[in-house]
């Protein structure tokens, strides 16, 4: 039986059924559990003939659909997990349907990169960043940090009269940071710079995670003019703290370094006049990381990098396909594969283009401000209940808290998450066990916060 031919003939019915199931899921996502109570047995054997889409869909619904949690729903507050706007879903479906390999923006073949180039311009406008950044889409903040730091590595080499991309890294590349995200540290490992090799800058006093600028300058001076990479934070994971970018700008005028900002979700503060001040001065960084599958609310996997256009030659030297003559001169014939790690690329920009075009600056301002309001409302509950306490002030969209009886944190969170009403993640901050609730989903409402806090009170009664 030719199942492929049969499925092609029945494509309309197949996609209609999938669409309807998707609509039903999304329409009831607020009712779906945020916890997975089941285990799935892995079947390692592949059938000889295949069973066709209809039977495969039935098997998916029987085995895997029940363990799909509402991670894109309004009460999944673990990690920093966004949802998907209606427009982003439409764009993502079309990315699959048209199945472009996004590399070039002109020529006679696939030129879908023009969509990506336009989307980067839309994002720069959304973030109020200058147009002298070049950008592209990658799978997540890890690869965005990797891309930016790879160009930074090449910049360091040039300062030393070397071509690290061609010759390999020689010597130790100095990297300074106070509270780097694990993805940035992982990138240092992948780049051969050493995950444990960065110089730790002190954080500010007073329950802060932002770097101490005075200590940063002392550590810079200790390098005696040696070029280095600075990784700074626009929103730390635990407390969403921001480094002082204006002060770093002053240091940039005095010392020779590559300035990278990890703004995975904190960059979206720029969408709101209320919180834009947190990012004042970030427009002068050499490179910036932003995650789109967080606060932009597009499907996984989606992030962008921004690198100043003046560094484009360094970027090409780092990523160019030097052994593929048919690709042409990378500086004359633009192709994304000469500017980032991947060669074959999904049209990841299309969901972002759809949602940005659909909702505009005002739409994202409302999402950001509503999420922050929900975080503050949740923080009020924490402050008002004697069983809980904030571990840090709420600076934007994340609430870092603990139980007064720290010994109960693990059992409390386990019971809460198993209940399936809300999902949060554990953390460790300032020597204390804690819990993090991050608000980045466009669906989250006052009713969701109330439902979550009621579930928390029920767990307290059980304890």
Tell me: do 165 and 230 sit in the same domain. yes
What is the average per-residue pLDDT within 360-369? 99
Cis peptide before 301 (omega within 30 of 0): yes
Contact 416, 455 (CB under 8 A): yes
Contact 439, 375 (CB under 8 A): yes
In this prediction, residue 106 has a pLDDT band, given cuts at 50, 70 and 90, of: confident
> Which CATH number belongs to the domain containing residue 32 in this structure?
1.20.1340
Q: Work out the mean pLDDT of the chain and round it to a whole number.
A: 95
Tell me: do 158 and 46 sit in the same domain. no
Residue 17: Cβ within 10 Å count? 14
Tell me: do 100 and 10 sit in the same domain. no
Instruction: Give the side-chain half-sphere CA count within 13 A for 218.
Output: 8
CA dist., res. 149 & res. 155, Å (int): 9
In tens, the pLDDT along 208-249 reads 999 999 999 999 999 999 999 999 999 999 999 999 999 999
Contact 127, 368 (CB under 8 A): no
Here the tokens at position 104 are 């070039």
CB neighbour list of residue 198: distance below 8 Å, 6 or more residues apart: 175, 176, 177, 180, 185, 188, 231
Our count of domains for the chain comes to 2
In terms of residue numbers, what domain contains 253?
A: 89-355
Tell me: do 54 and 164 sit in the same domain. no
> Which CATH number belongs to the domain containing residue 259 in this structure?
3.40.640.10
Tell me: do 149 and 64 sit in the same domain. no
The β-bridge relationship of strands 228-233 and 257-262 is parallel
Residue 156 lies in a domain: yes
User: For the sheet containing 425-429, what is the strand order?
Assistant: 388-390, 398-403, 432-438, 425-429
In this prediction, residue 330 has a pLDDT band, given cuts at 50, 70 and 90, of: low
Which of 70, 100, 125 is where one domain is finished?
70
Residue 290 lies in a domain: yes
Q: What is the pTM of this model?
A: 0.96
Ranges 101-115, 126-140, 423-437: which has the least confidence:
101-115
């Amino acid at each position: 039986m030719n199942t492929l031919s049969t499925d092609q003939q029945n494509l309309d019915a197949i996609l209609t059924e999938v669409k309807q199931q998707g609509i039903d899921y999304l329409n009831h996502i607020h009712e779906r559990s945020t916890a997975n109570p089941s285990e799935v047995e892995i079947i390692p054997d592949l059938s000889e003939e295949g069973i066709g889409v209809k039977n495969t869909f039935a098997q998916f619904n029987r085995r895997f659909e029940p363990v799909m949690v509402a991670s894109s729903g309004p009460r999944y507050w673990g990690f920093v997990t966004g949802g998907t706007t209606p427009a982003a879903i439409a764009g993502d479906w079309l990315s699959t349907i048209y199945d472009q390999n996004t590399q070039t923006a002109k020529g006679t073949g696939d030129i879908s990169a023009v969509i990506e180039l336009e989307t980067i311009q839309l994002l720069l406008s959304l973030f109020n960043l200058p147009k002298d950044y070049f950008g592209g889409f990658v799978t997540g903040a890890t690869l965005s940090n990797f891309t930016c730091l790879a160009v930074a590595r090449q910049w360091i080499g040039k300062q030393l009269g070397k071509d690290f991309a061609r010759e390999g890294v020689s010597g130790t590349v100095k990297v300074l940071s106070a509270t780097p995200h694990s993805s940035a540290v992982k990138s240092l490992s992948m780049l051969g710079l050493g995950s444990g090799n960065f110089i730790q800058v002190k954080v500010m006093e007073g329950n802060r995670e932002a770097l101490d600028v005075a200590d940063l300058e002392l550590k810079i001076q200790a390098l005696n003019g040696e070029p280095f990479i600075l990784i700074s934070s626009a929103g730390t994971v635990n407390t969403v703290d921001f480094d002082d970018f204006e002060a770093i700008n002053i240091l940039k005028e005095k010392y020779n370094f590559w300035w990278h900002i990890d703004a995975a979700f904190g960059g979206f503060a720029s969408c709101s006049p209320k919180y834009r001040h947190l990012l004042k001065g970030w427009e002068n960084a050499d490179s910036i990381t932003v995650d789109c599958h967080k606060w932009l609310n597009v499907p996984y996997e989606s992030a962008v990098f921004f690198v100043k256009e003046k560094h484009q030659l360094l970027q090409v030297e780092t990523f160019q396909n030097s052994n593929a003559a048919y690709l042409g001169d990378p500086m004359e014939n633009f192709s994304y594969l000469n500017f980032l790690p991947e060669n074959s690329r999904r049209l990841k920009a299309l969901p972002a283009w759809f949602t940005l075009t659909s909702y505009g600056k005002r739409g994202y301002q409302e999402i950001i401000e509503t999420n922050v309001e929900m975080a503050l409302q949740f923080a009020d509950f924490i402050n008002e209940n004697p069983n809980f306490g904030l571990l840090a002030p709420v600076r934007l969209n994340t609430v870092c808290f603990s139980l007064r009886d720290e010994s109960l944190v693990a059992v409390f969170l386990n019971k809460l998450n198993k209940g399936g009403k809300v999902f949060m993640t554990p953390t460790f901050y300032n020597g204390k066990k804690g819990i993090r609730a991050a608000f980045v989903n466009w669906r989250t409402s006052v009713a969701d916060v109330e439902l979550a806090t009621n579930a928390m009170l029920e767990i307290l009664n059980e304890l």
